[in-house]
Amino acid sequence: MSRCDKRQFNKMKKILLLLFLTVFSYLCQAQSNKYEFNCCTDVNHVISKSGTTKVAPLMFGAVAKYARTRIISEKTSTFKSFVLISYCWDCKRGKIWNITDDLHKYHVEYTDEDDDKYTEDVEVLPRTFSHMIPQYILQPIKVTVYELQ
């Protein structure tokens, strides 16, 4: 190999290594944003976010019991920001509560006993909630929530 070929080969190795590390870090990050819940214990899972958020007193009352450690002030209805995933197996529905000042998007996958799946994308505006309702599965046995944003 000539010197020029060796340089190109070394440059190509560095590019491939960088590409591999980028893909690997992306896959690790994607896995950390996956939340899986199995039947039949009701779910109230808090995902911590950065910042603080002030909400309406009615919303404060609805989520405070699940996020006691996130309360900054009960008087001003202020929390350390978080997202709450709640799912009721008997009701066959859930909610994603966005107690942040940012829009959040989730991909929800419902799985039944036959391993059939139904998926939906859920967009949750700041300081609101959105429903999770499996449309085509009578009784899911597993709910998986992927954080997209």
Question: Does residue 47 sit in the same domain as residue 24?
Answer: no
Total number of domains in the chain: 2
pLDDT value of position 30:
46
pLDDT, tens only, 77-93: 999 999 999 999 998 89
pLDDT at 53 (0 to 100)? 97
Cα(57)–Cα(86) distance, integer angstroms: 19
For residue 2, the model assigns a pLDDT of 65
Query: Do 149 and 103 meet the contact criterion of CB atoms below 8 Å apart?
Result: yes
The Cα-based distances of 129 to 50, 73, 97, 119, 139 in angstroms read 18, 21, 4, 18, 23
Q: What is the pLDDT of residue 32?
A: 53
Same-domain status, 25 and 59:
no
- Both 27 and 42 in one domain: the answer is no
Report the predicted TM-score, pTM, of the whole model to 2 decimal places: 0.77
Which residues of the chain register pLDDT less than 50? 25, 27-31
Q: Which domain holds residue 9?
A: 1-32
Q: Are 78 and 104 in contact (CB under 8 A)?
A: no
**Same domain membership, residue 78 and residue 41:** yes
Tokens of 110: 């419902």
What is the reported pLDDT for 35? 96
Residues 6+ apart with CB under 8 A from 40: 89
What six digits make up the tokens of 107?
A: 């991909």
The answer to whether 85 and 73 are in contact (CB under 8 A) is no
Q: Domain check: are 16 and 61 in the same one?
A: no
